[in-house]
Structure 1
């Protein structure tokens, strides 16, 4: 069986440092994804909460941060029941802005976890659209 992986790419009319800030700055994360308790930094745990009621939405650890180029988080949500997955962000200069690529791996395998994979895929699609709308 092959690994289930979500891959997304969006082109943003912003330079890499600006895009990086939207991936790591607590306030900017809340503009397109979920608010963070603190800025995301390598080696630090993070918690992203609901904008509506402050409930815990997703959490993990920032495993690697190469500013403006690469960011990797361990990542989980409630329905994963404590299982960790990996979210990787790659930023590349392109004429006029930045190509931001997301790879979400370590997802549930098999038909029993497929509903969660669909929900995560839909979520990432919507969140990246939010980010695109900020930097269209």
Structure 2
């Protein structure tokens, strides 16, 4: 693993408190990302599952949670073979709502890992776009 980092931002017409709910509440995570078994809470492990068959999609630990401002996860998926990466979420007030930024770091480097980095990049792009349909 290295310092390869995916960075994404999305502007949402919702207050930080509502965006935070979509990052942390089990019943809302599945609306834009993957369903969770329970709310994401600092210091606790999480598992996000497939909407189709309930299989484990990604998992890790919520390392830090500063409600409505910042969340940090250790994060892995099957193709990482148990190697943990880091996903950080940054929430900032904007004139019309919230800017949500993601930094996914510790990703594989080199040609062997590039396909996975591209897949994760495409995935994050789509998942963040789903947040525009918050309701």
TM-score range, shorter chain: over 0.9
CA distance in 2, matches of 1:110, 1:5: 13
CA distance in 2, matches of 1:86, 1:19: 20
Greater than 3 Å deviation, 4+ residue runs: none
Corresponding residue number in structure 1 for 2:57: 57
Report the secondary structure of 1:5's partner residue: strand
Task: Note the residue ranges of structure 1 that are not aligned, 5 or more in a row.
Answer: none
Report the secondary structure of 2:4's partner residue: coil
Corresponding residue number in structure 2 for 1:93: 93
Q: CA deviation at 1:46?
A: 0.1
CA distance in 2, matches of 1:94, 1:3: 29
TM-score, L = length of structure 1 = 0.96
Report the secondary structure of 1:42's partner residue: coil
Report the secondary structure of 1:53's partner residue: coil
Give the total of aligned pairs: 134
Report the secondary structure of 2:36's partner residue: coil
C-alpha RMSD over aligned residues: 1.0
Corresponding residue number in structure 1 for 2:38: 38
TM-score, L = length of structure 2 = 0.97
